[in-house]
Amino acid sequence: MKASLAKEVNRIAGLITLAAVAALAVGHIWPLLAGLVGYIFWSTRQLFALYSWLVRDDHTEPPDSIGLWGEFYTRLEHLFQKERRAQETLQGIIHRAQQSVNALEDVVILIDQHGYLEYWNLSAERYMGFNAGQDLGQPLTNLVRHPRFTDYLHEGDFKEPLEIPSPVDDNRILQFRVTEFGVGEQLIMARDVTRLHHLEQMRKDFVANVSHELKTPLTVLKGYLETLLDTVPEEQARLRRALSQMESQSNRMEALVTDLLLLSRLENTDADNDRQAVAVHGMLNRMRENALAISADKQHVIELEVPDDARLVANPAELESAFGNLITNAVKYTPANGHIRINWWQDDKGAHLSVTDNGLGIDPAHIPRLTERFYRPDNSRVTQTGGTGLGLAIVKHVMIRHGGRLEIKSQLGQGSTFTCHFPIDRLVNKPTAVAG
Ligand code: ADP
């Protein structure tokens, strides 16, 4: 470039010298002027040629030129070539990425920060019914109108996946996962879990059916055992002991069957059946009385702090089950003369029920798994208390069905606090009377 610049300077200097000599020879300035005008005219033509070449789309075959202008064109053409190659490479990458995303069996959808569709793959057309010609730029919730899907996106809590039927085929179950990226954009992936769903449903049906079928034989067995216990004379102590053990084990089995049936009902029925404004004070008061009766000789102190007007929109039977399990557990796992506190309070987040005891407590390492069916941190407790191992699983399900959650805090040997958190939309009386 430097050499071409020097040549161009030489060319201009030569032209001026020539024009000056000519001007001196003819004794007039016009040869000098003609030289300058000529140079300006030529340069302007080059500029125009450059402009029309630049505004062309292809930028190949630059106009012929000499000197600095020629060098200019060659360099610009190289630059354009480089950019073209980079663009082609990029387009190739995008094309391959699109091809592989299209080959995926899973649905892939991209939406912008306003929830409008930006991109989807072929599986999305198959499973979601999206139409390439019409749906680009449409709000996703206009195309997938399932209320649970709309709520899921609206609430923005994507820790757990969502399962709903495909918008184009009710028999196909899709599991959605949402990943947020960029500024409010979302990558939504869905996969077909119909088979898993059916297997899960078969498992649930099996448990429900077995539990149901066990009910009748158990009732018959229990009836006979009761009659036998009434008729076997006191002198036959060994037989009586055996019969009473059989009776207590059949009671335990009955409790198991009842809890299993309750759990399958919680899993299989619509969460919103039998919604009522439940008077919590009366319910908890009754439960306190029951707990005192179960405590009996253990002489627990059971305190209750609930505002008289506490009301919750809930399914009363489910609520009773959940609260009952927590309070019974507190009695079961707190040694004699222990303290149990039942508190109810409301705040701007919702309503809360806590059951605190100063009993055996639980090693915090077990807490994350405590609501799993039959999970017990300490099996020796089972034989002592005769629980079913399903109580906390029931509480967790009831809480999920009420849009709430169960929080567990405990230390081994120092007691536990189980708190049920209900969302604000479940409150009948907004937070005024606060206690606890
Ligand atoms: P279970 O029928 O065994 O009581 P749950 O599901 O109600 O079944 O409880 C699971 C386990 O959690 C219990 O076996 C017990 O070890 C522990 N647990 C529950 N509540 C308490 C509590 N208040 N204090 C100490 N441990 C508890």
Greater pLDDT, 69 or 422: 422
pLDDT bracket for residue 435 (50, 70, 90) = very low
Q: Degrees (nearest 5) of the Cα angle 419, 424, 430? A: 110
Atom 8, ligand 1: which residue's CA is nearest? 389
> Do 105-192 and 199-268 agree at the fold level?
no
Q: How confident is the model at residue 383 (pLDDT cuts 50, 70, 90)?
A: low
How large is the average pLDDT for residues 126-147? 92
**Confidence category of residue 410, pLDDT binned at 50, 70, 90:** very high
Residue 385 scores a pLDDT above 80:
no
User: 49 or 103: whose pLDDT is higher?
Assistant: 103
Specify the pLDDT at position 380. Answer: 64
* % helix, strand, coil for the chain, step of 5: 55, 20, 25
Percent of the chain with pLDDT over 70: 96
Ligand 1 geometric centre to CA of 378 (Å): 9
CA-proximal residue: ligand 1, atom 23 (nearest): 330
Instruction: Pick the range with the lowest mean pLDDT from 297-301, 329-333, 381-385.
Output: 381-385
Q: Are 344 and 307 contacting, i.e. CB atoms less than 8 angstroms apart?
A: yes
- Which atom of ligand 1 lies at the shortest distance from residue 389's CA? 8
Check whether 238 has a pLDDT greater than 50.
yes
Give the separation between CA 99 and CA 165, rounded to whole angstroms.
27
Ligand 1 atom nearest 390 alpha carbon: 6
Residue 360: closest CA among 340, 383, 345: 340
Taking 60 as the threshold, does the pLDDT of residue 305 lie above it? yes
Measured in Å, residue 347 CA sits from the centre of ligand 1 at 28
- Going from the Cα of 297 to the center of ligand 1, the distance in angstroms, rounded, reads 21
Strand residue runs (E) in 124-202: 162-166, 169-181, 185-192
What atom of ligand 1 comes closest to residue 378's alpha carbon? 16
Atom of ligand 1 nearest to the CA of 415: 24
316-332 vs 391-401: helix axis angle to the nearest 10? 150
pLDDT tier, 219 (very low <50, low <70, confident <90, very high otherwise): very high
Instruction: Give residue 414 CA to ligand 1 midpoint distance, Å.
Output: 15
The best mutation among 357, 362, 397 to test binding of ligand 1, ranked by most ligand atoms within 8 Å of the C-beta, falls on 362
pLDDT at 69: 81
Domain ranges of the chain: 2-99, 105-192, 199-268, 276-435
Q: What is the mean pLDDT of residues 187-202?
A: 94
User: Where residue 423 falls among pLDDT bands split at 50, 70, 90?
Assistant: very high
Distance 329 CA to ligand 1 centre (A): 6
Residue 179 pLDDT greater than 50, yes or no: yes
Handedness of CA 75, 78, 82, 84 (dihedral sign): positive
- Minimal-distance CA residue to ligand 1 atom 21: 329
Which residues approach ligand 1 with their CB closer than 6 A? Answer: 325, 329-330, 333, 357, 359-362, 370, 376-378, 381-382, 387-393, 416
Using the mean position of ligand 1's atoms as its centre, give its distance from the Cα of residue 268 in Å. 25
Asked whether residue 189 carries a pLDDT value surpassing 90, the answer given is yes
Superfamily of segment(s) 276-435: Histidine kinase-like ATPase, C-terminal domain (3.30.565.10)
Give the distance (Å) from ligand 1 centre to CA of residue 350. Answer: 26
Query: Is the Cβ–Cβ distance between 359 and 384 less than 8 Å?
Result: no
Residue 22 has pLDDT above 90, yes or no: no
Q: Which atom of ligand 1 lies closest to the CA of 359?
A: 24
Give the mean model confidence (pLDDT) for residues 191-202: 94
The rounded percent of the chain whose pLDDT value lies above 90 is 69
Centre of ligand 1 to C-alpha 370, Å, is 8
Distance, CA 346 to ligand 1 centroid (Å)? 26
Over residues 268-277, the mean pLDDT reads 80
- Minimum mean pLDDT range among 9-23, 201-215, 376-390: 376-390
Q: Can you name the residues that pair with 345 across neighbouring β-strands?
A: 352
Query: How many angstroms separate the alpha carbon of residue 115 from the centre of ligand 1?
Result: 44
Q: Which residues pair with 175 in a beta bridge?
A: 163, 191
Query: For the residues 236-249, what does the mean pLDDT come to?
Result: 93
Confidence at 147, pLDDT banded by 50, 70, 90: very high
Specify the ligand 1 atom closest to the Cα of 366.
12
Which of 1.20.1050.140, 3.90.330.10, 2.40.110.10, 3.30.450.20 is the CATH number of 105-192? 3.30.450.20
Report the residue among 392, 395, 399 best suited for mutation to probe ligand 1: largest number of ligand atoms under 8 A from its CB.
Answer: 392
Helix (H, G, I), strand (E, B) or coil at 315: coil
Of 51-60, 253-262, 318-327, 331-340, the one with minimum mean pLDDT is 51-60
Among 58-67, 226-235, 290-299, name the one with the lowest average pLDDT: 58-67
For ligand 1, what atom is nearest to the CA of residue 392? 6
**Residue nearest atom 13 in ligand 1 by C-alpha distance:** 376
Architecture category of domain 199-268 in CATH? Orthogonal Bundle (1.10)
**Residue 384 in this model has a pLDDT that exceeds 80:** no
Res 355 pLDDT > 90: yes
pLDDT, mean of residues 273-292: 93
CA of 355 relative to ligand 1 center, distance in Å = 13
pLDDT of 61 strictly over 70: yes
Q: What is the mean pLDDT of the chain?
A: 90
Which residue, by CA, sits nearest to atom 19 of ligand 1? 329
For the chain, the C-alpha Rg in angstroms (whole number) is 41
Residue 24: φ, ψ to 5°: -65, -40
Nearest CA to ligand 1 atom 14: 376
Instruction: Kindly give the distance from the C-alpha atom of residue 58 to the centroid of ligand 1, in angstroms, as a whole number.
Output: 76
pLDDT at 347 over 50: yes
pLDDT in tens, 72-116: 888 888 888 899 899 999 999 999 999 999 999 999 999 999 999
| pTM of structure | 0.70
Whole-number pLDDT of residue 379? 67
* Look-up of token digits 């206009």: 142
pLDDT of residue 356: 98
Residue 55 alpha carbon to ligand 1 centre in Å: 78
Out of 339, 340, 371, 376, mutate this one to test ligand 1's pocket (max ligand atoms within 8 Å of CB): namely 376
